Structure 1
C-alpha cells in the first residue's frame, strides 16, 4: 500500500524498500473546464541538483527536449501535450543506483507551457499529483496529491528525491512559482535569456 504524503512530509524510499534501485516517478494533472479557449499544455521538468541546490550543467535539466541526464540514470519518458485520460500524464524513470554521486537531489516540477501568452495558471489546474512506483513490480510506493490552490503560479516544485546517509528519501514540496519555468531554471542555477 502506498504512503500518502502531505505538503512538507518526508519519507524513506530505499530504506523501507530494500533492494529498490529503479523507480518510475509519475506526474498527473487535470485542467478545469474553463481554460480561455487556448490549448493547455503542462510539462514535467526535472532538475538534478548538487549539494548547493544547483545544476552543474544544462544536461542536469531534464524535460521534453532533453530527455535524459548525462549518464542516462534519469529519463523523461515523453511529453503529453493534452493531459487527457486517466493515470499519469508524464513519467520519469530513475535508476537510483547509477545517479551520479554529485547529484544529491532530484527536483520534480510541473510548469505550464507558454502560460503568460495563454493567460493560464495553476488556478486552472486540479488533481495534480506525483507518485513513485517500483519499476519492476509497478507497485505504487509513495503518493503526494497537490491539494493546494495555486491561483497565480505557473510552475510548481511538486517533490524531491534526495540522498540522506546513503539512502534515498522523498520530500513532498508543493512550492509554487509565479514566473514558471524561467524562475525555476534561474533558482536552480541555469542561465536564462
Structure 2
C-alpha cells in the first residue's frame, strides 16, 4: 500500500489507479489484480493502512471529553499528513471497509457508553466527532498557499464589493484579506471540535 500512498501524496487522489500503482511497483497490472481485485479494494486498503499508523489506546482513561478529543486529534494528524484522504472518507454514507478506521468509531462510542445514551445516540456522538474532523480536513485537501489566496481575493474584489453592496450585510461586508487568512484549516478544526464537544456535553448533562 505504500506505493499507492506515495502516488496520492505526490500527485493527488485523482492520480491513484491500479495501473499507476502497478507501475510504481514495477510490476504488471494483471499481477496486481491477483492481490487486489479492483480500485475500491485498493482504496479500502489504503485507508486501512493509514488509520493503522495512528492506533488509539486500548482503553480511554481520562473521561469522555478527553477521550473524544484524543481520538479527534489523532485522526486530524492523519489528514494533515495525507490531505487527500479526506476526499475518500468525508461526506459519504458508504465509508471504506477499513477495520482500523472503524476502530475509531467504536472507541468513540465506548467513550460515552456509560453515560445513559441509547446505541443510536452513541453512534451519533461518534459520527459527530468524525464530521468535525473530516469537515475541517476537506479544507486541507483543497488548501492553497497564502499568496494564491491573496491573489484570488484581489482578483475578485470588485465582484465581492458589488455583492456586499447589493444587500444590507453590515457584518460580512467587513470581511477582508486579514479575515480571509484567519480562516485556516487548523483554526476551523479547533473551533468545530470545541463546539462539537460542548454540544455533546449538553446532551450528556440532560441524561444525568
Quickly name the TM-score band, shorter chain normalised.
under 0.3
Which structure features the higher share of strand residues? Answer: 1
Higher helix share: 2
Higher relative contact order (CA 8 A, sep 6+): 1
Give the structure with higher Rg (CA).
2
- TM-score normalised by the chain length of structure 1: 0.25
